[in-house]
Amino acid sequence: MRSRIKYLNLLTIWLNQLVNMNKLKDATSEKLILNAAKNIFIKKGMDGARMQEIADEAGINKALLHYYFRNKQQLFEAVFMNAFSLLAPQLNSILNDESSIEDKIIQFTSNYISFMSQHPYLPSFVIQEINRNPEFIIHLKEKPQFPNTQKFKLQVENEVKNGVLKPIDAEQLFINIISMCIFPFMGKPLIKVFLNADDGHFIKLMEKRKTEVSSFIINSIQA
């Protein structure tokens, strides 16, 4: 009887280990696929990317790729949510810390532009999804890490009242910050043509823009 119980206990432990190993394998495979998809989306964008290319980049067959993600749209959304989960907490923390508006602008623009430089496919994807599916942004806002601007707006209003900032609407200020950060990535082909810039020069422009945007905005709102 004791030997049977011991056998059953060992069998349970073995089965649990097998389940855990399979979960780890699944998580590793999914991470590998997401990284491969991100690389292809960066190179070719949403429309130009092909599932077979992503499978080749990940070193797996197409059937296995479809096992994890049924189609390219589902995979793109997974890549986006994975990236968004990294960016959103950073921005939310900046907007809701105890620093001044000026420091918030500096940190926000630097973090945002750095992140977009690493994930240049995201802006066009968001616009594409909003146009295709307006409910997308509502679903996105329901995520717990979605940035909350309430404290930022109240802080701007207080600093305007105290004479620290020129009279400016907090929501307009936030729109200005977001617009100046995101447009170069949305309009990259146009900017490259106007400035006769190659990819290397564009990267340098974006690196410099981290401070250019914040300085421009701060100088325009300081009392």
Looking at the structure of the chain, the number of domains it has is: 2
Query: Which residue, among 48, 217, 45, has the nearest Cα to 127 in the 3D structure?
Result: 45
Residues 95 and 135 in one domain: yes
Compute the average pLDDT of residues 11-35. Answer: 57
Judge whether residue 13 has pLDDT over 60: no
pTM of the shown model: 0.73
The predicted-structure confidence for 107-123, as pLDDT tens digits, reads as follows: 999 999 998 888 887 77
Compute the average pLDDT of residues 65-80. Answer: 85
Residues 89 and 182 in one domain: yes
The last residue of a domain, from among 49, 70, 91 = 70
Residues 157 and 169 in one domain: yes
Q: What backbone phi and psi angles, to 5 degrees, belong to 165?
A: -115, 155
Query: Which residue, among 176, 155, 152, 156, has the nearest Cα to 167 in the 3D structure?
Result: 156
Residues 13 and 89 in one domain: no
Structural domain of 94: 73-223
Helix axes 101-118, 199-221, angle to 10 degrees: 160
Residues 154 and 218 in one domain: yes
First to last CA, the chain: 85
CB atoms within 10 A of CB 136: 17
Tokens encoding 82: 């994975």
Give the least confident one: 22-31, 111-120, 143-152, 194-203.
22-31
**pLDDT band, very low/low/confident/very high, at 24 (cuts 50, 70, 90):** very low
**pLDDT for the residue 46:** 72
**pLDDT for the residue 30:** 84
Instruction: Quote the percentage of the chain above a pLDDT of 90.
Output: 39
Residues 6+ apart with CB under 8 A from 155: 101, 104
CATH number of the domain within which 176 lies: 1.10.357.10
